[in-house]
């Protein structure tokens, strides 16, 4: 009897470990854009779709996450599992629609305690999200966001914020509404001439980043004299009288914002 229990425990442990192999870094697909019909599994979310769940509301807090642990894991209570892709962000452009769509499993929950990332009771979302550019029945995959977890006060649809440049319209997506050291956004461009959509990166002294971090209290990133002006994020304590600014130029050949100063 004891031997049987030990074997069952080992099998259970192996199953749990086998479910924790998700990558954490964004996967940029803009260089090899994939296309598919709107029925493709990576983009099945439809406008106005009703969230579905394979698990009922979790009053006992006994749903276990299948995603790798994060700094937020201890503060999150999972309430339900959505087993079909859902649109979580949407913005129409001149020639298509930008979307953030969840993967086959999305864990929905809430913050059990307040933190620098949100207030107690705020809603949490975690899935393998995809950023899609949809034109008719054609979906172009721009970026994958594996294991992404974010917090919002409610479940309203997110939007991409537009900043226009002569070469391209740039759209910023900010899933997490507040953070410990500023606000973090992903950026995507739509070529003004061709209508091509692509993911953007940011270069700072030779280092390439997939996101832009900026102050949550100063004006949002904007176009000033054909440069992206960004107010730096400042940590708590010792704030300067004037928030320092970063200035980026848009390099369309590299699909990148390059910091000038």
Pick the more confident residue, 44 or 185: 185
Is 123 part of any domain? yes
State the total domains in the chain: 1
Per the CB < 8 A criterion, the answer to whether 204 and 232 are in contact is no
Is 248 part of any domain? yes
| Mean of pLDDT values over 127-150 | 97
pLDDT of 49 strictly over 50 = no
pLDDT of residue 52: 46
- State the average pLDDT for the chain: 83
**Tens digits of per-residue pLDDT, 167-176?**
999 999 999 9
Per the CB < 8 A criterion, the answer to whether 216 and 234 are in contact is no
- SS3 state at 16: helix
Percent of the chain at pLDDT exceeding 70: 75
Is 9 part of any domain? no
Is 213 part of any domain? yes
Residue carrying structure tokens 């900026």? 214
Q: From residue 163, how far is each of 153, 187, 231, 260 by CA, in Å?
A: 25, 10, 15, 19
Q: What is the CA radius of gyration of the chain?
A: 20
Task: Name residues whose C-beta falls within 8 Å of residue 83's C-beta, 6 or more positions apart in sequence.
Answer: 52, 53, 54, 104, 105
pLDDT of residue 243: 78
Q: In whole angstroms, what is the distance from residue 81 CA to residue 73 CA?
A: 16
- SS3 state at 129: strand
Is 14 part of any domain? no
**Tens digits of per-residue pLDDT, 195-212?**
999 999 999 999 999 999
DSSP H helices, the chain, are 2-18
**Tens digits of per-residue pLDDT, 77-115?**
999 999 999 999 999 999 999 999 999 999 999 999 999
pLDDT of residue 95: 93
Is 13 part of any domain? no
Task: Name residues whose C-beta falls within 8 Å of residue 119's C-beta, 6 or more positions apart in sequence.
Answer: 111, 153
**39: domain range?**
23-259
Record the pTM.
Answer: 0.80
């Amino acid at each position: 009897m004891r031997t049987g229990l030990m074997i069952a425990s080992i099998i259970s442990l192996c199953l749990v470990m086998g479910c924790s192999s998700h990558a954490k870094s964004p996967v940029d697909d803009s260089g090899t854009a994939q296309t598919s019909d709107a029925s493709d599994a990576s983009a099945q979310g439809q406008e106005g779709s009703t969230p579905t769940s394979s698990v009922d509301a979790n009053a006992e807090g006994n749903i276990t996450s299948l995603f790798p642990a994060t700094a937020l894991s201890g503060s999150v209570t999972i309430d339900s599992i959505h087993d079909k892709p859902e649109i979580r962000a949407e913005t129409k452009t001149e020639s298509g629609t930008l979307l953030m769509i969840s993967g086959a499993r999305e864990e929905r929950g809430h913050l059990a305690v307040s933190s620098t990332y949100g207030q107690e009771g705020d809603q949490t979302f975690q899935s393998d999200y995809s950023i899609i550019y949809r034109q008719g029945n054609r979906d172009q995959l721009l970026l994958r966001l594996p294991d992404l977890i974010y917090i919002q006060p409610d479940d309203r649809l997110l939007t991409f914020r537009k900043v226009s440049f002569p070469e391209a319209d740039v759209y910023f997506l900010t899933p997490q509404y507040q953070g410990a050291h500023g606000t973090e956004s992903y950026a995507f461009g739509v070529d003004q001439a061709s209508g091509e959509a692509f993911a953007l990166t940011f270069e700072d002294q030779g280092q390439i980043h997939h996101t832009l971090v900026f102050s949550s209290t100063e004006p949002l990133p904007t176009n000033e004299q054909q440069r992206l002006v960004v107010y730096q994020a400042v940590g708590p304590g010792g704030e300067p009288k004037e928030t320092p600014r970063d200035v980026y130029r848009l390099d369309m050949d590299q699909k990148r914002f390059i910091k000038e100063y």
